[in-house]
């Protein structure tokens, strides 16, 4: 009998709405094609429009209630008339922390038929094939700090933004990153740091990396990069990188660079994972609500489809079909690893044929790309 997964969609704002609808269409096509798993979708309107009407994104108890689902599919949140720190801190960050989604995984590669701004990748697109593992629960985004309240002495205003690094938090993200590297062809992990200038948290970060590395000696190769030098290496020697682990802030920035180097921010996926699998994980493209193109039917849905494929791959590891870090081993539940591969192949075939949105240099709209991917799923299967 087909396994049923309960998925909650939070489309959010702007193009988040269009691409979530497109992702649901693709996931529905995939379940029909395979017949070994089903999705039951609920949708929550936690948008900036609702925030303006009623003063909150998620209602009281709303984030707790997400725990009953198998996974969360998220579009994008944020709109020019609500300050961005409100949408981030009322929605995305509380979801990630409440649901223990401490690992954020961001794969990047150059899809067939698309062009990287790196001239070296024109001859060999496989040179850029990375997975960035982002620490998703603490570090620079822990929210500790404050501002002196005095407006009478505005000239002397002081604000602090304190980074929090805990042994437990660092150790678990490195273990997850090594396990991820083990699943990759090159089995190479690069740790990103700034321990030359930041002499407390980042020094602890480095020290724990080498402790965890001992457990993987001989199985995973590893090296260390300062974050500033890392940007240079990503541009100049993409083929020298494979799996990358970095703090919340560093990986946030590096993954946007990675997306741009692969051709467009519109294709890049992201998974917010609870590797313990106690709580649902959340899948979302890395781009935002793109107010500049919202409502025009031209948003690239590939990042949303890739995120959907990552969700299918993660769900394949349900029911005990995964290791201690939650990573799926073998075929998993309901042929879902094959289903995820099928969706990725369908995406690649469609971009190769030139059915692309404008950000990738094509002419097609969101709907045309979505329909093409749905049709291609049948061909690949």
Contacting residues toward ligand NAI, per CB under 6 A: 15, 76-79, 84, 92, 265-266, 284, 287-293, 299-300, 303, 357, 359
Which C-beta is closer to Mg ion: that of 78 or that of 238? 78
Q: Is 140 in the site for Mg ion (CB under 5 A)?
A: no
List the beta strands (DSSP E) in 240-290. Answer: 243-246, 269-273, 281-285
- Cα 233 to Cα 211: distance, rounded to the nearest angstrom: 25
- Nearest distance, CB of residue 366 and ligand NAI, angstroms: 8
Tokens (6 digits) for 69: 């689902």
Of the candidates 158, 145, 167, 110, the one whose C-alpha atom is nearest the C-alpha of residue 302 is 110
Which C-beta is closer to Mg ion: that of 288 or that of 334? 288
List the beta strands (DSSP E) in 171-327. Answer: 188-193, 221-226, 243-246, 269-273, 281-285
Which C-beta is closer to ligand NAI: that of 131 or that of 299? 299
Which C-beta is closer to ligand NAI: that of 238 or that of 266? 266
- Nearest distance, CB of residue 268 and Mg ion, angstroms: 10
Place of tokens 């691409």: 19
266 binds, among Mg ion, ligand NAI, none (CB under 5 to 8 A by kind): ligand NAI
- Nearest distance, CB of residue 220 and ligand NAI, angstroms: 30
- Cα 73 to Cα 87: distance, rounded to the nearest angstrom: 17
92 binds, among Mg ion, ligand NAI, none (CB under 5 to 8 A by kind): ligand NAI
- Cα 337 to Cα 316: distance, rounded to the nearest angstrom: 6
Helices (H) and strands (E) in the chain, counts: 13, 12
In this chain, which of 138, 179, 242, 252 binds Mg ion, going by CB under 5 A? 252
- Nearest distance, CB of residue 75 and ligand NAI, angstroms: 7
Which C-beta is closer to ligand NAI: that of 230 or that of 302? 302
In whole angstroms, what separates CA 111 from the centre of its chain?
17
């Amino acid at each position: 009998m087909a396994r049923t997964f309960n998925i909650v969609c939070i489309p959010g704002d702007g193009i988040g709405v269009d691409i979530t609808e497109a992702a649901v269409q693709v996931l529905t096509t995939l379940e029909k094609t395979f017949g070994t798993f089903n999705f039951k979708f609920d949708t929550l309107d936690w948008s900036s429009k609702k925030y303006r009407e009623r003063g909150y994104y998620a209602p009281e108890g709303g984030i707790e209630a997400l725990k009953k689902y198998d996974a969360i599919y998220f579009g994008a949140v944020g709109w020019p008339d609500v300050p961005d720190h409100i949408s981030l801190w009322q929605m995305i960050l509380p979801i990630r922390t409440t649901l223990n989604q401490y690992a954020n995984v961001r794969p990047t590669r150059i899809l067939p038929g698309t062009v990287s701004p790196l001239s070296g990748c024109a001859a060999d697109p496989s040179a850029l094939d990375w997975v960035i593992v982002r620490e998703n629960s603490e570090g620079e985004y822990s929210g500790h700090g404050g501002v002196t309240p005095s407006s009478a002495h505005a000239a002397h205003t002081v604000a602090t933004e304190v980074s929090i690094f805990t042994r437990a938090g660092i150790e678990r993200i490195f273990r997850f990153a090594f396990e991820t590297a083990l699943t990759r062809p090159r089995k190479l992990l690069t740790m990103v740091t700034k321990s030359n200038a930041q002499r407390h948290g980042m020094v602890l970060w480095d020290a724990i990396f080498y402790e965890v590395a001992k457990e993987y000696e001989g199985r995973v190769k590893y090296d260390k990069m300062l974050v500033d030098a890392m940007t240079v290496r990503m541009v100049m020697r993409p083929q020298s990188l494979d799996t990358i682990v970095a703090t919340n802030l560093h990986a946030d920035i590096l993954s946007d660079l990675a997306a741009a180097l692969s051709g467009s921010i519109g294709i890049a996926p992201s998974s917010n994972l609870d590797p313990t699998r106690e709580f649902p994980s959340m899948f979302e493209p890395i781009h935002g609500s793109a107010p500049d193109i919202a409502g025009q039917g031209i948003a690239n849905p590939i990042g949303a489809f890739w995120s959907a494929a990552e969700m299918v791959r993660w769900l394949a590891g349900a029911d005990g079909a995964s290791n201690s870090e939650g990573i799926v081993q073998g075929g998993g539940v309901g042929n879902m690893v094959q289903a995820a591969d099928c969706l990725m192949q369908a995406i690649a075939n469609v971009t190769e044929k030139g059915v692309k949105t404008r950000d990738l240099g094509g002419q097609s709209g969101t709907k045309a790309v979505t329909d093409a991917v749905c049709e291609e799923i049948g061909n690949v299967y």
